[in-house]
Structure 1
């Protein structure tokens, strides 16, 4: 009996918009940029056109410190998309940034058993193989830049 092997599809890629383009350009330079409301100063992440606090469309960008701490995590044992099946299991972390926002990204340099709530992390940067840089999380002593 022969088994058919199916080709692994490409990973889904983010599609930058007018509102998120500075974010993606910053990642390409190895910098995490965060959007800040130019009216009330509220930080927001992921970039979007409207401030959820004062409803202003005015925004500017600030460079994040690059530091983070674990808020929560999950270990994926089943891929949400077939392109990720070769990476199983992988850890996805929700991290608090000192700027007052959270980011969700894959943990790259450790297993989930090395995590705890509040564990220090750093933002890393990883080319997705399609010419786009994505944020990842690494332990405070790790390296991924």
Structure 2
């Protein structure tokens, strides 16, 4: 990346919402310096990578995300309760997962754009054993691939929760029979280890009556 940012993770950990303050002082949430997440060297104190290292890469038998240089800002914003995606600073193309170069114009300049955190279920599976022991204890549970309303080409996977008020709900709290392609969801964030939060997807109040097509077509109703 061509610019650096403060890699100190904020102290507060909001559960939901999109927020507005950038990680860096540039207004764009540019990526931290390579030293922040270089796997060959020590992680910078306060970074999400440092928190993952401190936890040994696992929490309660579950694998934690392992940020690289390009992905560290995504997880810092998640810790603040924000869902942001990387976008090219030259042509504006959004991309996920994060990477150093724009696949369209090949620019190395990027920024982190806020999103509404709303999307629609593009695909869903139900996980069953055989799984790693900690995952098997939670099975069966649904996992969704969600396309974002702002850009349906951006898709993210995650577990589901029945309400934005329950970011820590068990993974099997949503019955698979309630899920369908096109159902409206809203991102929430679950703290899974000190200094580490992951996005999950909460069903929206309007999803039962929505006639979703699997295409992210805009704003949804207020989530419950």
TM-score, L = length of structure 1: 0.85
- Over residues 76-116 of structure 1, what are the superposed CA-to-partner deviations in whole Å (9 max), with x where a residue is unaligned? 01254332111111111011101211111111222221111
Q: Which residue matches 1:5?
A: none
Q: Structure 2: any 5+ residue segments left out of the alignment?
A: 1-58, 163-173, 206-222
| Aligned counterparts of 2:92 and 2:114: Cα–Cα separation in 1 | 14
Which of 32, 38, 41 matches 2:92?
41
| Structure holding more strand per residue | 1
| Residues 1:56 and 1:130: Cα distance change in structure 2 (over 3 Å) | same
What's the secondary structure of 2:64's corresponding residue?
coil
Which of 100, 103, 123 matches 2:156?
103
Q: Which residue matches 1:32?
A: 83
| Aligned counterparts of 2:106 and 2:130: Cα–Cα separation in 1 | 36
TM-score, L = length of structure 2: 0.56
Displaced runs of 4 or more, over 2 A: 79-83
| Aligned counterparts of 1:62 and 1:28: Cα–Cα separation in 2 | 16
| Residues 1:79 and 1:52: Cα distance change in structure 2 (over 3 Å) | farther
- Correspondence 1:126 to 2:190: yes
Q: Which residue matches 1:50?
A: 101
Matches within 5 A, 1:1-145: 10-78=61-129, 80-100=131-151, 101-109=154-162, 110-129=174-193, 131-141=195-205
| Aligned counterparts of 2:97 and 2:199: Cα–Cα separation in 1 | 12
Give the C-alpha shift of residue 37 in structure 1.
0.8
What's the secondary structure of 1:73's corresponding residue?
strand
Give the C-alpha shift of residue 130 in structure 1.
5.0
| Residues 1:132 and 1:71: Cα distance change in structure 2 (over 3 Å) | same
